[in-house]
A and B are shown apart, each in its own frame.
Chain A
Amino acid sequence: MNRVEISPEALLMLKKMQGIHGALMFHQSGGCCDGSSPMCYPLNDFKVGQADVFLGFVGDAECRAPFYMSGSQFEYWKHTHLTVDIVPGRGSGFSVEAPEGVRFLIRSRLFEDNEWAILEKEPVLTGQNH
């Protein structure tokens, strides 16, 4: 049972970016312009806050990136399952994939009742303590 996963196309780009920047992480943004999009940064470039929620890792054994979101934003998002996808386009912000002419994008669905029953019992991990 995961809260977040990544599409095969997005994972290919994540691997390419890992080759350039080293280990990576995602932080889901909110607000203006490129808000509501996931930002992909070199791991440890962005300081994960104590109140940030760790939703899980995306990727595979070869390329694995932790995915975070601010705790207050998570309250509004927690009932939805997220998939990191990728589309052509020109994002702004400092996300590493933008120079490739593509942008990571979140696709969402509601958790089913049986999934939610499991997740509800799982502790929500915050900060970097995971």
Chain B
Amino acid sequence: MIYSVPGTPGAVVNAKPQYENFIGGKWVKPVKGQYFDNVSPTNGKNFTKIPRSTSEDIELALDAAHAAKDAWGKTSVAARAVILNKIADRMEQNLELLAVAETYDNGKGVRETLAADMPLAIDHFRYFAGAIRAQEGSAGELDEDTVAYHFHEPLGVVGQIIPWNFPILMAVWKLAPALAAGNCIVLKPAEQTPWSILVWMELMADLLPPGVLNIVNGFGVEAGKPLASSKRVAKIAFTGETTTGRLIMQYASENIIPVTLELGGKSPNVFMADIADKDDDFFDKCIEGFVMFALNQGEVCTCPSRALIHESIYDKFMERALARTKAIVQGNPFDTNTMIGAQASNDQLEKIMSYMDIGVKEGAKILTGGKRKIVPGLEDGYYVEPTIFTGKNSMRVFQEEIFGPVVSVTTFKDIDEAIAISNDTLYGLGAGVWTRSVHDSYRLGRAIKAGRVWTNCYHAYPAHAAFGGYKASGIGRENHKMMLDHYQQTKNLLVSYAPKKLGFF
């Protein structure tokens, strides 16, 4: 099936000529009246105007959030959970519309937005609706007459800065736990992909009390910075890269507030020799696991962009992996048969191509791909051929996040070398381990310094598995009920029920 492009006959969603910020439950024009063009990476065309907000707009949003925070924080968890479930239901009722909007805004295939982005986002709201109902404080009996009560309290008003690779899903990863925990939010979408979350907000506008969720659009330097450096946020959550991560921590240190940072990776995907012992379903699954580097055009922080293959199976494995990579269907993102779509922006395309260049200069060999792809009818879209490099782990294409459909392949001779290569990176977000041996899988899984080690699977993102990084990949976690704690204060009431004085004074 091919969905109609927004703005053409039969489209399930169309863009307005212009959008506004969502502040205090209303659509509000940016104070300075400035807008920027939003380009679809699928065809390189401007299709709507988005507020180019400044610190004045951030302040308005913070005013609205602070006005709403006391009432929202005191709203019962049952009532908050009902709202989260209603959001999930409404997303489900509008799944196609949201999926097509996401595809137009980001460039990824509608197959993914229909089957992954939206269902995962919906489930995320339901998960945290349940988790907040089940969360309890504690009562510690310190002695016969003394009790330590621990309560969870919301932080208040939090700031969230969203990346462009999964514009709705990444927003929901941050929104659902923060809302469940009783916080009010000022959210800044990515400037490459601001539209789909505004379409989402239009659908949800009546479900949340005014001021609980505020969306302010704009550029990092003009809108992100005043949000991240504001004295009026109790926490800042950011997904992006390391330098901005450091800058955000620096601002947070000035205000003594916590941060959650998710800053990417260069994830190893380890294929042990025993996977090729049989040519069965599992071996086939391993080949698919290798090709996962192309999922979402490689624009995933956990892209398995370094494949480590045991030298004894290299030829057999790569023959199969190469054929599977060449079979990737790339093209019109609105066609449900398309497996990978467009890169999210022109500068990403240029950056990916700059890595093709340095990869070759460093002596890495290209087994397939390596070029920009021109898709007929979408000649101005930002498409890159799925690319396999072979080389050494010290090369820059093995060490830097390319954020494209590019994998760098090398070999290892034993498990110790596999662990050493896996850990020879600045990052530690994801990893993959493929083996028929429970012993090797456990040893590798524990030895690789990464926040998540997928074992005989890859790129699964269930709400109840913690996600986050070791090393330069960030601080804190997302997903899982433990995430509630990232958006809560701990209140301890230390209570004496003893009527008699201590006798000290």
Contacts and interface: CB of A to CB of B under 8 A. Distances in A.
Interface of A: 27-37, 39, 41, 45-47, 49, 70, 72-73, 76-77, 80, 87-96, 98-99, 101-103, 105-110
B403 A27 contact: no
B503 to A, nearest CB: 52
A89 B348 contact: yes
A76 B262 CA distance: 22
Contacts of B221: 94-96, 98-99
A31 B396 contact: no
Interface stretch (B152-160, B356-364, B412-420): B356-364
Contacts of A98: 191, 219-221
Nearest to B250: A47
A46 B220 contact: no
Contact of B241 (A30, A101, A102): A30
A33 B298 CA distance: 11
B358 A92 contact: no
A91 B243 contact: no
B225 interface: yes
A109 B358 CA distance: 6
Contact of B347 (A27, A49, A70, A91): A91
A91 B244 CA distance: 12
B401 A35 contact: yes
Contacts of B204: none
10 contacts: A31-B241, A31-B473, A35-B242, A35-B264, A72-B426, A89-B347, A92-B163, A92-B190, A98-B191, A105-B354
A99 B79 CA distance: 41
B401 A30 contact: yes
A87 B347 contact: yes
B211 interface: no
B191 A92 contact: yes
A76 B400 contact: yes
B348 A94 contact: no
B42 interface: no
Given A33-B241, A34-B244, A36-B402, 16 more contacts: A31-B242, A31-B264, A31-B427, A32-B264, A32-B401, A33-B164, A35-B242, A39-B247, A76-B394, A90-B346, A105-B350, A105-B351, A105-B354, A106-B354, A107-B354, A110-B362
B39 interface: yes
B399 A76 contact: yes
B222 interface: yes
B171 to A, nearest CB: 14
Interface of B: 36, 39, 52, 163-165, 190-192, 219-222, 224-225, 239-247, 250, 262-265, 301, 345-351, 354-355, 357-358, 361-362, 394, 396, 399-403, 426-427, 472-473
A37 B396 contact: no
A20 to B, nearest CB: 10
A94 B36 CA distance: 16
Contacts of B265: 31-32
**Which of A35, A37, A93 has the most CB atoms of chain B within a 10 A radius of its CB?**
A35
A2 B239 CA distance: 33
Contact of B250 (A39, A46, A80, A110): A46
A110 B247 contact: no
A31 B240 CA distance: 7
Given A32-B241, A77-B396, A108-B396, A99 B350 contact: no
Nearest to B399: A76
A107 B400 CA distance: 14
Contacts of A45: 247
Given A32-B263, A33-B403, A46 B243 contact: yes
Given A37-B351, A103-B347, A32 B191 contact: no
A37 B224 CA distance: 18
Contacts of A28: 243
A88 B346 contact: yes
A3 B350 CA distance: 22
Given A30-B400, A32-B262, A33-B163, A39 B243 contact: yes
Contacts of A31: 240-242, 245, 263-265, 301, 401, 427, 472-473
Given A32-B301, A96-B221, A108 B241 contact: no
A92 B220 contact: yes
Given A46-B247, A80-B396, A98-B220, A34 B357 contact: no
Nearest to A77: B396
B351 A92 contact: no
B401 A108 contact: no
Nearest to B427: A31
Given A37-B241, A89-B345, A108-B357, A30 B350 contact: no
B191 A90 contact: yes
A109 B243 contact: no
Nearest to A26: B243
Contact of A35 (B220, B396, B403): B403
A38 to B, nearest CB: 8
Contact of B39 (A49, A87, A90, A105): A90
Nearest to A82: B358
B354 A29 contact: no
Contacts of A107: 354, 357
Contacts of B246: 27, 46-47, 49
A74 B473 CA distance: 17
Nearest to A89: B347
B241 A99 contact: no
A89 B350 contact: yes
A93 B243 contact: yes
